Amino acid sequence: MLYRFAGALVACVAAPSLAAAPASIAGRWKTDDGKGIVMMTPCGARMCGHIDRLLIKQPAGGQLDERNPDKAKRGRQVTGLRIYWDLAPDGDGWKGEGYSPEDGRYYKAYLRAKGDKMTMKGCVAVFCRTVTWTRVG
């Protein structure tokens, strides 16, 4: 009995501590407001997200990034725009950077997927907002 206990103890000490990897966020996600589809994909060793498609009526020539704080970027198309980058595993989710073309704000992003839902918490300074997106095929 002592030998089994000692063997188990050695196995626990010798085994590296493996934290569970967060659920995958790869794929297409419909935004909480139903205005668009965001595609989450690997970009190097991390994850990124871009606007795959807008589901709202767009002006002639397409929706532009009109509220970007950088005036030089206000003429770029919103469709195809990278809005998440540098997302790395962090506990049971992903942590990185985000951008909202709706209000032109950059923020710290925290994403966590569970089944067909993904919650995103975006924080600017101490002010945070959380939304839930739904996986689409």
Q: Name 131's bridge partners.
A: 120
Could you please state the CATH topology (level 3) that the domain comprising 22-136 is classified under: Lipocalin (2.40.128)
Q: pLDDT averaged over the chain?
A: 88
d(CA 62, CA 56): 11
What is the phi-psi region of residue 72: left when phi exceeds 0, alpha when psi lies from -120 to 50, beta otherwise?
alpha
Query: What does the pLDDT read at residue 21?
Result: 84
In this predicted model, which residue has the larger pLDDT, 126 or 5? 126
Instruction: Read off the DSSP letter of residue 104.
Output: T
* Domain ranges for the chain: 22-136
Query: What does the pLDDT read at residue 18?
Result: 56
pLDDT level of residue 19 (50, 70, 90 thresholds) = low
pLDDT level of residue 117 (50, 70, 90 thresholds) = very high
Contact 87, 25 (CB under 8 A): yes
Environment class of 20 (CB within 10 Å of its CB; exposed 0-12, middle 13-18, buried 19+)? exposed
pLDDT at 1 over 60: no
